[in-house]
Structure 1
Amino acid sequence: MTATTHTVLMVPGLRDHVAEHWQTLLQAELQAQGHDVRCVPPLEHDKLSCAARVAALDAELADIDKPVVLVAHSAGVMITVHWAARHQRQILGALLVTPPDFAQPLPPGYPAPDALVQGGWLPTPLAPLPFPTLVAASGNDPLASHARVAEMAAAWGGRLVDLGNVGHLNPAAGYGPWPRAHDLLAELGTLVTRDS
């Protein structure tokens, strides 16, 4: 994959756009290298609605006329798998980073279980994804156990990548810049080439 042959689409989690988040920084880095990189825009309403989030992703994809690589973090992973369960569009591949386990109570400051049920986030889709996938898991993520992320990765047909103890890989955990994202995107490109 080269900078001109595809679009990288960032799929943020429920906190949407955070200036110091690795996704935001990665987008700027890739754009500076000449890549076509976009981001699903933040919602003004229905921020806890899974259907609204999936619709926003689908609308952004409809505006892209090149093959797409998805880069999703946290609830963005859930948005991606819900989208894949409802829509048919060819995706080159996806990097799915630290998905949360919405079936378990989340730490304080995150949505309560009943809000997630009402928002349509559960059950989590566990069908195989129709595109090559890397699922990156943290050993000490407060939003999902490593074992649960491994189960999700296996169900989705993705390759599990052990990141070590990186928390939820967000600014609260010290990320910020995440150079390994470049390596994982390169590996994803190898998977895409192999499977095409």
Structure 2
Amino acid sequence: MSSYFIIPGLGNSGPLHWQTYFEESAANFTRIDQKEWDAPVCSDWLLSVDEALKDADLSEVILIGHSLGCATIAHWAKHSGKRIKGAMLVAPSDVEALNYTFPAIGFAPMPLDRFDFKTLVVASVNDEWVSIERAKYFADCWGSRFVDIGEAGHINAASGFYKWNEGLEFLKKLD
């Protein structure tokens, strides 16, 4: 059985976010907590991922990232050398874009190395934090399957994504 590890973005995901819905949907979903959600340091976030996965059967691990969580997965894949079952990267923030002015240290530049595991990138045509072209570019570089879900904003609570059953269906493509 797959073990799903959720990596939220900047600020964590609140009670009405699809990541919270996923986490509450089954016992095999675990949120990876970070020490600092609002002014994150990439190396700290990577340590949190390693700590969360230390006792997991990596062949059954699927990471689920949103926004800055996607950059975390890209950095983790590049630096850990570990192979997992797969990852779903939703609305990967473009940490190199001029409008990305959040206090996030060490996340740029975005790693573009091909992942050594199955991945899926889900993006929206009107996401303020990544253009659809840039999201597709990330997916191409990472060797990921790419899904454009249309006008869905940043695919978060503010965009109305709580009970995102379509997202749970996307996860099945990684199993």
Interval of TM-score (by shorter of Structure 1 and Structure 2): over 0.9
- SS across alignment from 1:69: strand
* Amino acid corresponding to residue 17 of structure 2 in structure 1: H
Alpha-carbon separation, structure 1, partners of 2:167 and 2:153: 16
Contact (CA 8 Å) 1:46, 1:52: kept in 2 or not? no
Q: Name 1:18's counterpart in structure 2.
A: 14
Give the superposition deviation at 1:183: 1.2
Q: Which amino acid aligns with 2:92?
A: P
What code does the residue aligned with 1:11 have?
I
State whether structure 2 residue 165 is matched by structure 1 residue 165: no
Counterpart residue type for residue 108 of structure 2: L
Residue type matched to 1:83 in 2? W
Task: Please give the residue correspondences for 1:67-86 in structure 2 after superposition, counting only pairs within 5 Å.
Answer: 67-86=60-79
Secondary structure in structure 2 of the residue aligned to 1:144: coil
Distance 1:141 1:163 in 2: 11
CA distance, structure 1, for counterparts of residue 57 and residue 140 of structure 2: 30
Structure 2, unaligned runs of 5 or more: none
Look up the match of 1:49.
Answer: 41
TM-score, structure 1 length as denominator? 0.83
Displacement of 1:46: 8.3
* Conservation of the 8 A alpha-carbon contact between 2:10 and 2:38: no
Give the aligned residue type for 2:26: L
Q: C-alpha offsets along residues 16-57 of structure 1, whole Å, 9 cap, x if unaligned? A: 1411110111111133xxxx2211013148842011111111
Which runs of at least 4 in structure 1 moved beyond 3 Å after TM superposition?
Answer: 44-47
Q: Is the 2:12–2:37 Cα contact (8 Å) retained in structure 1?
A: no
Deviation for aligned residue 1:86? 0.5
Aligned residues: 174
Aligned residues of 1:47 and 1:53 also touching (Cα < 8 A): no
Equivalent position amino acid for 2:137 in 1: E
Contact 1:17 1:24 in 2 (8 A): yes
C-alpha deviation, 1:63, in angstroms? 3.1
Structure 1 residues 47, 53: closer, same or farther in 2, change over 3 A? farther
SS of aligned partner of 2:44: helix
TM-score between both structures, scaled by the size of structure 2:
0.93
More displaced, 136-145 or 172-181?
172-181
Distance 1:170 1:46 in 2: 17
Alignment correspondent of 1:9: 5
Structure of greater Rg: 1
Q: 2:110 aligns with which of 121, 124, 127?
A: 124
Cross-structure match for 2:122: 136
> Which residue does 2:50 correspond to in 1?
58
| Deviation at residue 146 of structure 1 after TM alignment | 0.1
Q: Residue 54 of structure 1 aligns to which amino acid in structure 2?
A: L
Find the counterpart in structure 1 of residue 164 from structure 2.
Answer: 178
Matched, 1:39 2:31: yes
Please, what is the CA RMSD of the aligned residues? 1.7
